[in-house]
Structure 1
Amino acid sequence: MKHWRLFLVILAPLLILIMPLSVLPTGFLEIHQRVLSIFVFAVIAWVLEPFPVYAASLWIIFLQLIMLSNRPLSLIPALGLEQKVLSWEEILGVFASPILILFLGGFFLASAATKVRLDKNLARVLLKPFGQNPKMVLLGLILITAVFSMFMSNTATTAMMLAIVMPVIASLPSGDPLQKALILSVPFAANIGGLGTPIGTPPNAIALKYLADVHPISFIGWMQFAVPYMAFVLLLLWLVLIVLFPSPTKTIQIDMTGRFLKSKDAIIVYVISVLTLLLWLTGAWHGLNSYTVALLPVCVFSATKIVGKPELRDMSWDVLWLVAGGVALGDSMEKTGLSKLIVQNLPLGALSLITLAVLFACLCFVLSNFMSSTATANLILPLVAAMGIQWGESGAVVLILVSCFSCSLAMALPVSTPPNALAYASNKVSQAEMFKAGLTVGLIGLGLSLFVFLMFQKVL
């Protein structure tokens, strides 16, 4: 099975490369043909996964260096002077992309918080006010998971919150629907909560990169529209789970024991975490952008060894590599003009903005249910950004944000997101139950995002 996938990921790009230019649409140059072959490689590698998706990203960068750069492989015919070759320094520069630095800062914050048990202790404290009523505890679990997911990895947040809630689930009578509601609330809330900040999930950061070209949005600017939307979808999630999994249980008890550490390392983590968050929220006042602020926890936690070699080894470097490959792919398509050529040759020019928004939202939603949402964003957003230009600044913003949000709302299957897989592994919920709840919430959220962004297009 894997062999034919590998064969296809090699054969398809080669066919693009050896194809006569006359077969391709008008305006295509040899460099466009090469970029297109790399794009086809990325599509097949990220969808079929003959090897890990992060490995595909590294191959994208390597292929760009030997085929598109000003220092290519000597065996490959040189490109003409009229073609927009990329500098090799520019290609390798994606590993220091501001988007990756932003995520690295988030990784350091999450790693340090876990080390001093700030995350678990804070979760217990925040859950306490919701009492023992099952519906209120479910709401508390959803809200707290989402808040953590705004600043931590969705997967790490899910693992942490499941560890807190599993003893509660075990204490419930066998077959109680509340078990399923509690289990599903965690990954779904983590997926939705990731929408709240630029560092919440990789598609957000990728969208931020393309928004920078048409309508730059600050950290707090993103939160101003994303958090209210996120809160409304979380409320809908709560209602959907209550309706789908009604429970006769009247009270539940959650272990609230735990204390905040008072060690030197813990105090440093508390101070730097709060300071970083405040700096992210007040960028308009102090002048530092969110990417620069993200280096603060990286520098401090490295110097104090709060994040040392063991913590560095445990970080999700595969996510950074995956994003780097997407940034490199998008840059090459934009700088060589391929994205504009593709858009010009797609039969979509007569479609309205609403139709395009629905089309791309559905495409991202469907793809992200079966493959990485980050890979989907990497593939679709360059085309969306290029197509949005014809609708002006506001139209481009609408298409980019709707597509971005649709990627994160795809959570119908265990394979859709790592948080879903963690919840499914508990053996407390079936794939059919996850599909029913995840598809319902995802489609409602998708419809809401289309309505909100299209209604407020003029003020975005």
Structure 2
Amino acid sequence: MATCWQGLWAYRFYLIVLCLPIFLIPLPIVVRTKEAYCAYAIILMALLWCTEALPLAITALFPVVLFPLMGIMEASEVCIEYFKDTNILFFGGLMVAIAVEHWNLHKRIALRVLLIIGVRPALLLLGFMLVTAFLSMWISNTATTAMMLPIGHAVLEQLQGSQKNVEEGCDNTTFELQETISQKDEVKLDNGQAVSASSEPREQKAQENQRFRQGLSLCICYSASIGGIATLTGTTPNLVLQGQVNSLFPGNDNVVNFASWFGFAFPTMIILLLLAWLWLQVLFLGFNFRKNFGFGEEEEDRKQAAFQVIKTQHRLLGSMSFAEKTVTALFVLLVVLWFTREPGFFPGWGDTAFANENGQSMVSDGTVAIFISLIMFLIPSKIPGLTQDPKKPGKLKAPPAILTWKTVTDKMPWNIVILLGGGFALAKGSEKSGLSEWLGDKLTPLQHVPPAATVVILCLLIAIFTECTSNVATTTLFLPILASMAQAICLHPLYVMLPCTLAASLAFMLPVATPPNAIVFSFGGLKVSDMARAGFLLNILGVLVITLSINSWSISIFDLNTFPSWAHSNASQCLLNTPNSTKPGL
């Protein structure tokens, strides 16, 4: 019997893939409408995404097969959704991030900031969180965590090793997180036996070191997730939102662009990052803030051990190469072009120099990202430019470009490109089939709930859901439904879509919730209970900060107090006779 169950468990994914379509088949058979057909496809894909019985990207290809067969959309219409402008932005932004990572520019930035911050416990935590969050704004949070975690553990190993070396001679209290007993080798009588008095302080110090190691590990993975929300390209759910808004509301005048998103999300990220720092400091360092900040200690004698590790790593990088300088210049140019293309509060270069007859910009953020990426393929990595060919002695060859296609193919997460496309196809299918309209009509009773309360409830729901499934899949499934709900109750769609997109990044409680959590957990020293205890309150804080942001500075950025004309549709039943429903927070 045990062997039978083991065999079934071994084949569980095959069984899920075979049984789920059969189990759900009564829905399209009994209810023969396009709405039911589309609901069948969405429910099937949602369950496969949750169970991960198939790779996420493979599940995202289901609309290519199901929608044409069900008569929802033509195959040519479905396929277009898989490589839209948002996918181009993701692709171009990642190519620039790959160049930054390939030439170790991110490591140089990290080590330089850590040398400036110092190694006192609280400041060291803050330094790692600031660096990780900044890097995660531009490169993948997985790559950021994988780079920062070994650096952090190397620093701790050196600090704690230095403590052991000086334990007999003098007290190195740099990482004593609470006051300890004197460690002189005194002898006490305990039940008639001689016991060293230094054993208790040593055990206490070991526990403190272990707690600090756990806190540093969690601060790295949490700040990687938090930092990604600040920029449009920082994490995939942000791009899912932009793509869904452009797909569902074609006349929105590019309301979600790099500049507007940054104005909304960057302050949110800063507040949440500082709250996370305070919470992790209290949880793992204790309430002795004087000790945590290293006041009253002989700093020079205590920081040398940790500084030596950072200095050594920084020295090994050498001086900045031509390639690093070029990547830095192009990266800064990319950010400047993104911000000034269509900022909203003053005419951008996209609105003026490259506008169509209607005064709208003909270029997008994706255009800028691809432009900078193309330049990286054209500039050699060394100037002057001839080197010996190692395969053919005596022959000269030109150095490789700053970015090569092999480097891109090795590091590009192609599965995310397909996953993005699958989400856009689902959103378009929901609109074409009428499922979005049907869901919106069913959600009209929410007009009686204050919009601010609706946002809190939805954010909590998304934050819980994203702990168990991919944040990309979560936003892909929920955003079209939220858009329909907002149209039905005459609420600005972005008032619910923006906070729920940020809430999808609040995956702090479980190791499986997001790759940074899994990387940190794999390093050891953490239990699931440690991560759940730290992440639970952080999730609550995240929802509160998001609610604050959407009800304060975001209102002026996106004009959330109105129901925009681009959100009207001939099919939607907007309740225009309920004026309070158009005012968030009332």
Counterparts in 2 of 1:421 and 1:245: CA distance versus 1, 3 Å: same
Match of 1:125 among 94, 112, 119: 112
Match of 2:487 among 353, 374, 389: 389
Counterparts in 2 of 1:11 and 1:270: CA distance versus 1, 3 Å: same
Supply the AA of the counterpart residue of 2:16. R
Q: Which residue of 2 aligns with 1:243?
A: 282
Measure how far apart 1:263 and its partner are.
Answer: 4.2
Asked if 1:115 is matched to 2:102, the reply is yes
Q: Which residue of 2 aligns with 1:46?
A: 49
Measure how far apart 1:452 and its partner are.
Answer: 2.7
Counterparts in 2 of 1:216 and 1:320: CA distance versus 1, 3 Å: same
Asked if 1:16 is matched to 2:27, the reply is yes
Q: Is the 8 A contact 1:104 1:298 kept in 2?
A: no
Supply the AA of the counterpart residue of 1:188. Y
1:171-200 per-residue CA deviation (whole Å, 9 max, x = no partner) reads 354431211111100110010111101111
Q: Which residue of 1 aligns with 2:423?
A: 326
Asked if 1:316 is matched to 2:413, the reply is yes
Counterparts in 2 of 1:171 and 1:267: CA distance versus 1, 3 Å: closer
Name stretches of at least 5 consecutive residues in structure 2 with no aligned partner: 1-8, 161-205, 295-301, 343-347, 351-362, 380-400, 559-586
SS at match of 1:203: helix
Match of 1:197 among 225, 231, 237: 231
Supply the AA of the counterpart residue of 1:367. F
SS at match of 1:282: helix
For residues 53-452 of structure 1, the aligned pairs below 5 Å read 53-68=56-71, 85-173=72-160, 174-175=206-207, 176=209, 177-212=211-246, 213=249, 214=252, 216-246=255-285, 253-254=306-307, 255-256=310-311, 257-258=314-315, 259=317, 262-284=320-342, 285-287=348-350, 288-304=363-379, 305=401, 306-346=403-443, 348-352=445-449, 353-392=451-490, 395-452=492-549
Counterparts in 2 of 1:382 and 1:130: CA distance versus 1, 3 Å: same
- How does the TM-score come out when normalised to structure 2? 0.70
Q: Is the 8 A contact 1:193 1:200 kept in 2?
A: yes
**2 CA distance for matches of 1:392 and 1:291?**
31
Q: Is the 8 A contact 2:446 2:489 kept in 1?
A: no
Measure how far apart 1:163 and its partner are.
Answer: 2.4
Q: Is the 8 A contact 2:82 2:425 kept in 1?
A: no
**1 CA distance for matches of 2:432 and 2:373?**
31
SS at match of 2:54: coil
**2 CA distance for matches of 1:66 and 1:121?**
53
Supply the AA of the counterpart residue of 1:113. V
**1 CA distance for matches of 2:140 and 2:545?**
24
Supply the AA of the counterpart residue of 1:139. L
Aligned residues between the structures: 435
Measure how far apart 1:45 and its partner are.
Answer: 0.8
What is the root-mean-square deviation in Å for CA atoms of aligned residues?
A: 2.2
**2 CA distance for matches of 1:236 and 1:365?**
17
Q: Single out whichever of 53-62 and 342-351 deviates more from structure 2.
A: 342-351
Supply the AA of the counterpart residue of 1:94. E
Counterparts in 2 of 1:458 and 1:123: CA distance versus 1, 3 Å: closer
Supply the AA of the counterpart residue of 1:325. G
Q: Is the 8 A contact 1:370 1:416 kept in 2?
A: yes
Counterparts in 2 of 1:262 and 1:147: CA distance versus 1, 3 Å: closer
Measure how far apart 1:445 and its partner are.
Answer: 1.0
Q: Is the 8 A contact 1:118 1:260 kept in 2?
A: no
**2 CA distance for matches of 1:271 and 1:13?**
54
Counterparts in 2 of 1:367 and 1:337: CA distance versus 1, 3 Å: same
Q: Is the 8 A contact 2:264 2:554 kept in 1?
A: no
Structure 1 segments of 4 or more deviating over 6 A?
Answer: none
Supply the AA of the counterpart residue of 1:359. I
Name stretches of at least 5 consecutive residues in structure 1 with no aligned partner: 22-29, 69-84
Q: Is the 8 A contact 1:146 1:192 kept in 2?
A: yes
**1 CA distance for matches of 2:30 and 2:551?**
41
Counterparts in 2 of 1:128 and 1:264: CA distance versus 1, 3 Å: closer
**1 CA distance for matches of 2:378 and 2:39?**
44
Match of 2:18 among 7, 13, 22: 7
Supply the AA of the counterpart residue of 2:39. L
Q: Single out whichever of 111-120 and 447-456 deviates more from structure 2.
A: 447-456
Measure how far apart 1:361 and its partner are.
Answer: 1.1
Task: Name the structure with the higher helix share.
Answer: 1
Supply the AA of the counterpart residue of 1:67. M
Q: Is the 8 A contact 1:13 1:38 kept in 2?
A: no
Supply the AA of the counterpart residue of 2:272. V
SS at match of 2:153: helix
Q: Is the 8 A contact 1:45 1:51 kept in 2?
A: yes
Q: Which residue of 2 aligns with 1:78?
A: none
1:426-445 per-residue CA deviation (whole Å, 9 max, x = no partner) reads 10222111111111112111
% same residue: 27
Q: Which residue of 2 aligns with 1:33?
A: 36
Counterparts in 2 of 1:4 and 1:362: CA distance versus 1, 3 Å: farther
Q: Is the 8 A contact 2:226 2:273 kept in 1?
A: yes
